[in-house]
A and B are shown apart, each in its own frame.
Chain A
Amino acid sequence: MKFSLSIIATLLGGIGISLISGVPWWGFVCVSFLVALVIHQVPSRAFAAGFLGMFLAWGGLAWWIDWQNASILSKQIASIFPLQGSSAALLMLTSIIGGLLGGVTAITGSYLRMSKNKS
C-alpha cells in the first residue's frame, strides 16, 4: 500500500512540479525526496518506489510527447546520441535517467527519516 502510494505520489509530483515557474529541471528530485521522507519505507523499497515513480513520470511524459510527434524528433536525436535512430532506446534512456535520480533522492529521504527516528 505504502509502496504504490509512494510511486503514485512521486509520479504525480514529478510531473506537476515543472508547472511551477522558475523551478530548474532537477526540481523533481525534491518530490522523490519528500515522498520518501513523508511515506516512510525501508531504503530498498524507497529506492524502488522513487525509481519507478520517476521512471514512469519521465518515461510516460516523453512517450506521450513522442507519440504526438510521431517520433519525428526522437529518431533524429537517437542517431545523434548514438542509439541507431531508435526512439524506443531514447525513451528508455530518458526513463532510466529520471528513475535513477528519483531513486537516489528517495533513498536519501528514507535514510533521513530513519536517522531521525533513532535519535
Chain B
Amino acid sequence: MRIAPFLASATLSIALVVALDRPLGKIPPLGKFLSPQYGFWQNAEPIGMDYGGTLQLKGLKGDATVYFDDRLVPHVFAENEEDLYFIQGYLHARFRLFQIDLQTRAAAGRASELAGSKAINFDREQRRLGMVFAAENALKEMEEDPLSKTIFDSYTAGVNSYIDQLTEAALPIEYKLMHVTPERWTNLKSALLLKMMAKMLSAGTENDLANTNAKSIFMPEELSRLYPQVPDSLLPIVPNGTLYPKPGVIPAKPAIADSLYLNNKQTVAAQIIDRPDPGNGSNNWVVAGSKTKSGAPILANDPHLELSLPSIWFEIQLKSTSSNAYGVSLPGCPFVVIGFNDSIAWGVTNSQRDVKDYYEIKFKDDSKKEYWFAGKWVPSKLRVEEIKVKDSLSVFDTVAYTIFGPVQFDKQFSTGASANRNLAVRWAAHDPSNEGMTFYKLNRAHNYADYEEAIRTFTCPGQNFIFASRTGDIAIWQQGKFPARWDKQGLYVMPGEDSSFLWQGYIPQQENPHSLNPERGYLQSANQRAADSTYPYFIPGSYITARGIRIDKKLASMSGITPADMMALHYDYFNTSAEDLRPVLLKNVIESQLNAKELSYLQQFKNWDLYATPNSIGQTIFQCFWDSVQFSIWSDEVNRTSPAATWPTEQTTLELLLKDTALVYADDITTPQKETLSITVTTAFKKAAANLQQKEAEGKLVWSKFMNPSIYHLLKDALPAFARKGLTVGGYGNIVNAIKHSHGPSWRMIVHLVDGIEAYGVFPGGQSGNPGSRFYDNNVSVWEKGEYNKCWLMRDNDKGDARIKWTLQVKKS
C-alpha cells in the first residue's frame, strides 16, 4: 500500500508550497522571494549590465535614441515633444517605479494601502489637508491647456508603457518585500507629486496654531519682540536699499480685528501630525561676469531636502527639435526642474512664505452639514474619504469643505484631549495652477525675457528662481501667488464666521521681490526674508537668516571667481551664528562654578576655529551648549500652553542676547528664585557638558559621529539595509553646507555660462532606485567628499563620443 505515504507526501508538498507562497507578518513569501527566477535575485543587476539595445514601445510617434553615459544619465534625443516626455516617463518608471508609486500614494493619503494601519492618521491628515482636492484642481488646469495636456498625457503613457510590460520577476524589490503590486500611472498622479512638493515647501512655513497659543500668553509688544518680522542682521535676497514701488493692492484690516482676533486669548489644542521639516530650505546664488575670472556668469544651487535613497532627483538630458535641457528632474513629473540649456541656467530655493491659514468654523451640529457664515447657516460640501488599509478593513472619514477650504481639525480628528475647535485650512496650494508649464518654458528659455515669462504663472510653493544667461544677465525673482495681507493677518487662527478675514487679494506678480543685474554683481537666496522692511507688504514666513549672511559676505568679498571657488562655497562649514554668539555666551559662563571636565570643554569651545567640519569637537560643544541655552530660556515660557507656543527662532534668540544682556526671559518662571542670564547660561552649559561627557564615552564627540549623517531608504527604519549611514560630513542647518542628520543638499549644481556651457552636479544617491544596482548609491561618496560629476550637455554631433556607454534605440511599434 503506497496510497497513504503518497497522500501524506502530496499533502506535505502542497502545504509547503502554500506556506512559502504567503507572507508571514513582515516576512515576504519566502519561497517566492528566494526564487532565483522570480524573487529578489532577479533584482541583482549584473555589474556589467547592458542598458542599451532596441526597445519597441506602443504609443510613440516616431523613433528616438537614449544615450546613457557612464553614470547612467540618459541623454534623450527625440524627434518631437510627445516622444521626449513619453520616454522621460518610461525612464522614470524603469529606474524609479516604486518611488513614484509610493510618493503619490502617500500624497493622496493612501499610505495605509502599503504600510497598514500605522499610517491611518497620516492618511487622514493628508485627506483633511485637501491634498487630493488640490491635485484635482491642478489637474483641471493642466488638462485645460492643450499643450500641457498633450505633454502630461505623453508622460503618463510612457510610465504605463513600462508598467504594462512588467513581469513578476522584474518588479522592483520593494514590491516583493512588501508583497504589493504597482498601480498604473495617471495625470492626477503627476499633479499629486507636485502637491507633495507644495506640502513639503509651503505647508510647514507657518505656525498659526502654536502662534495662537503664544498670543494667549504674551502681550502684543512681547509678541513683536519674540517673533519679529525682520531680523536685525538680515541680508535679504533683494539687495538692501532697493526702492519698491507703491503697493498695487492695499488690504484693509477689518474693524473687528483687534477685539475678535488680535486680543483673543483663546488657546488651540490641535496639532499637525506630519509637519514638513522647517529646514526644507536651499541655497542658490549667481555671480555676474564682472566678478568671475572668465567674464561669464556662474550660477550655483543646492536644494536642502530630506536625503533619501533613491534620491528625490533623477539626472537627465532632454533634447528634441524645440528644446535641449540638462539637469535634474522629479520622477513622477516631466521636464528638467533645476538645470540649464545652451543659453541659460536656473535654480530654485524655497521662499519660506506663509501661504496657509486657519479659520475657526462653527458647525450647526455634529453632522457638519451646515456652518455659520455671514449671518446664516450655509451648507458645507461633505467629502467621504475611504482609506483602504493593508490586511485590514477600510477606514472612513468625512471631511467638510467650506468657503475657506477643508476643515482639517474637528471633533472626529483631533490630537489634543480638549480639541473641540473646528479649523478650516486656506492654503494657496488648493488654488488651480499649472506649475509644470513653468519648467516646460524654462527648459526652452533663451534669455531673461523668456525666463520672466516662464516663471510668471508659478503659484505654489513660492520659489526663489535664480537665473543667469550666456549673454551676461543675472537675476532672481521670488515667485508665487502670495496673499496681500494686512498687518498680522494669518499669523494666528482667524475667525471664520464671515468673509472679513478672508484673503482680500494677491500681491501683483510684478511686485514680487526681484532683482536684475544689480551693480554689486551677485545675487543670492538662502531662505531668508526676501526684502528689507521697506517692502510694502506684510510677508510672514519661516525664514532662515544665517546662511544668507555667510553667502552674501563671501560673495561680496570675492573676485576673479572660478567654478572651483563656487564648489568650495557649497562645501563651506563656517558657523556664522557661532561667531556672533560665542562672545556673549562666554561672557555669561561663570567659570568658578565649573568642574575640571566642564572647564576643558569650555576651553575647547574657546579655541574652536568656528568651522563645523566632520572632525570638529568645538562644533559639537557649541551646538549642545546653544541648544541647551535656548531650551533653558524658552521652555518654561512656551510650555505655559499645551501644546507649546511657538519657540522664538535661533536668530531671534541670538539677536536678543546680543542687544539685551539682562534678558528677562532668562528667568525660569517655574522656580521661586530669580535666575539671571549668567545663571541660566552657566546651568545650561553644565547640562550640555553632562550630555557631552556621555557622548564622549560613546566615542561620539566629533561632529560627524555626533550628528551621524545618514541617507535612509524611502521606507526609513523598515529597511535599514538599504540606507547609507555614518557619512563623514559636517555642516548644519544654519551653515552653508547645510547637512543635518538625514537632511541637506539634495543636489549640488554649478553652471558656468561660457560658450558650450561648463556644468557640474552631484546628488547623494544614484540614477537607479534598485538597491541591487551599482547605480543605486554610486554618487554618495562623490557627494560626501564634496566632489562633482561633470554634466555633459550632449549635442547632435556627439553621437560617436566615447562618453556614450550604452545606446538604447527606441522604436514605435
Contact = CB atoms under 8 A, between A and B. Distances in A.
Interface of A: 15, 18, 21, 25-26, 28-29, 33, 43, 58, 61-62, 65-66, 68-70, 72-74, 76-77, 79-80, 85, 93-94, 97-98, 100-101, 104-105, 107-108, 111-112, 114-115, 118
Interface stretch (B36-44, B130-138, B664-672): B36-44
Nearest to A71: B44
28 contacts: A18-B37, A25-B21, A25-B31, A25-B32, A29-B13, A61-B37, A62-B41, A65-B36, A68-B48, A69-B45, A69-B772, A72-B772, A72-B774, A73-B43, A73-B44, A74-B44, A76-B722, A85-B721, A98-B36, A101-B17, A101-B31, A104-B9, A104-B13, A111-B2, A111-B6, A114-B2, A115-B2, A118-B2
B658 interface: no
A25 B771 contact: no
A29 B12 CA distance: 13
A90 B1 CA distance: 40
Of B12, B41, B772, chain A has the most CB atoms within 10 Å of the CB of: B41
A26 B47 contact: no
Contact of A101 (B16, B39, B719): B16
A25 B38 contact: yes
Given A58-B35, A104-B12, A112 B44 contact: no
A62 B3 CA distance: 36
Contacts of A115: 1-3, 6
Contact of A111 (B5, B39, B40, B776): B5
Interface in B426-470: none
Contacts of B9: 43, 104, 107-108, 111
Contact of A97 (B1, B13, B30): B30
B34 A97 contact: yes
B415 to A, nearest CB: 33
Contact of A69 (B2, B13, B34, B44): B44
Nearest to B777: A72
B20 interface: yes
A72 B773 contact: yes
Closest 6 CB pairs of A and B: A73-B772, A115-B2, A111-B6, A69-B44, A18-B37, A61-B36
A108 B3 CA distance: 10
A75 to B, nearest CB: 8
Contacts of B48: 68
Given A101-B31, A107-B9, A111-B9, A65 B41 contact: yes
Interface in B755-794: 771-774, 776
Contact of A26 (B5, B21, B43): B21
A108 B36 contact: no
B10 interface: yes
A108 B721 contact: no
B37 A76 contact: no
B5 A43 contact: yes
A21 B721 CA distance: 32
B46 interface: yes
Nearest to A17: B37
Given A79-B721, A111-B5, A25 B39 contact: yes
B2 A65 contact: no
B44 A18 contact: no
Nearest to A117: B2
Contact of A104 (B16, B40, B722): B16
Contacts of A107: 9
A112 B13 CA distance: 13
Contacts of B10: 108, 111-112
B46 A69 contact: yes
Given A66-B41, A72-B47, A72-B772, 16 more contacts: A18-B37, A25-B21, A25-B32, A25-B35, A26-B21, A26-B31, A58-B34, A65-B36, A68-B47, A69-B45, A72-B776, A76-B771, A80-B721, A111-B10, A112-B2, A115-B2
Given A25-B31, A69-B47, A105-B13, A80 B20 contact: no
B13 A108 contact: yes
Contacts of B16: 100-101, 104
